[in-house]
Amino acid sequence: MFGKRILLGITGGIAAYKIAYLIRYLKKEGAEVKCIMTPASCDFISPLVVSTLSQNPVAIEFWNKQTGVWMNHVELALWAELFVIAPATANTISKMANGGCDNLLLATYLSMKTKTVIAPAMDLDMYQHPTFKRNLAQLIEDGVFVIPATSGELASGLEGQGRMEEPEQILEFIKSKLEFSTALKNKKVLITAGPTYEAIDPVRFIGNHSSGKMGFELAKACLSQGYHVTLVSGPTNLELVHSNLELIKIESAEEMLSAVQSVWNQINIGIFAAAVADYRPNKKAEQKIKKSESEMTIALVKNPDILRWASDNRTNNQFVLGFALETNNSLENAFSKLYGKNLDLIVLNSLENKEAGFKKDTNKIVILDKQKTQIEFELKSKKEVAVDIINTIEKYLM
């Protein structure tokens, strides 16, 4: 932790008194600590204690009433390698989830470029309340890490889940996040997504029903973990903007292949989620084809297999994951693609399951490896499936 820059946000809950210990532990590990307190938290722990232990002035208001000096929240956010908000009250979590900005801590959160971690603390019924759960889910989606509250005796005298995790455990979490993000910072992921459109003439094409949702969710999951992502996407209605994202939009399989080829030697992990058209018309008509004949035939030629090209051309020891969309003999077909295309992992998407597949928000997957391991997952939203896939890849890379 030596020299690591930790920004600590303290909000108004009884657990705030424990933050004195967390600051001590962080300082003992050699970290630099700066603290922001909400005005309400000053009723639970004195800014003097926080400032003395952190060996830095404490930021509370947007400007210092005595000196008239403005507190630069943007500078604080840029300084921090990690922003840890502990305790995080239901009120602060709600404002974070909804873009609230009525104190310095929230303005700093909105200015953060790196990771934010929260350690919620509240009474048990508040912790179970649907609005709190909704807000927490929103923050997780936004890439905030959550250290779940533990169970035990609460300030109200009731017993249940809502206690802020102990400072020793928060310290361990901070350490693991910092190590993990250093390892990931330079890793680059390539994701293919969506359908491809193979032109018949200037207005018609051969395509499929892929929405691109799975590939875009994978990109979001990677970005929220700190990866750099190149997303090569066929035509979809989806958009994604992120400072660590390069989005390359293509139409045909041949264009998708050249986009993949142009970046492949810089990539560490390749995830091939696109539903590439297997065939394309052997030539695109220059002009719109007229319906003069009673029958017509379009000659098709095979498209390049982009995944196979990538796996055969691993210049950087890339980890390669493919998808298998199957309607019958699912496991057998998926295993033969895994071996045939020499993949590290394959995600089997079986259309034998009605909740899975094109244009659905849910998916049920099995991940297969070359040792014939089958990791089965429950039916989940594509967002959750994406996180499962990334977590599985990371386990294989560790």
What does the binding site for ligand CTP look like in residue numbers (CB under 6 A)?
Answer: 192, 253, 272, 274, 276, 278, 303, 305-307, 322-325, 337
Query: Residue 45 or 191: which CB sits closer to ligand CTP?
Result: 191
Tell me how far, at minimum, the Cβ of 36 lies from ligand CTP, in Å.
Answer: 45
Tell me how far, at minimum, the Cβ of 311 lies from ligand CTP, in Å.
Answer: 9
- Report the b/e string of 256-292 with b at 16+ CB within 10 A: bbebbeeebeebbbbbbbbbbbeebbeeeeeeeeeee
> Distance between CA atoms of 58 and 47, rounded to whole angstroms?
7
> Distance between CA atoms of 124 and 158, rounded to whole angstroms?
8
> Distance between CA atoms of 44 and 15, rounded to whole angstroms?
8
Query: Residue 132 or 323: which CB sits closer to ligand CTP?
Result: 323
Tell me how far, at minimum, the Cβ of 364 lies from ligand CTP, in Å.
Answer: 16
Query: Residue 83 or 216: which CB sits closer to ligand CTP?
Result: 216
Tokens representing residue 122 in the block? 């509240």
* Given the residues 56, 72, 208, 342, the one annotated as active site: 208
Tell me how far, at minimum, the Cβ of 393 lies from ligand CTP, in Å.
Answer: 14
Query: Residue 147 or 306: which CB sits closer to ligand CTP?
Result: 306
DSSP string for residues in 189-248: EEEEESB--EEEETTEEE-----SHHHHHHHHHHHHHT-EEEEEE-S-S-----TTEEEE
Tell me how far, at minimum, the Cβ of 296 lies from ligand CTP, in Å.
Answer: 24
Is 208 considered catalytic here?
yes
Neighbours of 53 (CB within 10 A): 18
For residues 84 and 108, the answer to whether their CB atoms sit within 8 Å is no
- The single residue listed with the structure tokens 């009250």 is 89
> Distance between CA atoms of 173 and 192, rounded to whole angstroms?
33
Query: Residue 228 or 337: which CB sits closer to ligand CTP?
Result: 337
Q: Which residues pair with 36 in a beta bridge?
A: 9, 59
Catalytic residues: 208
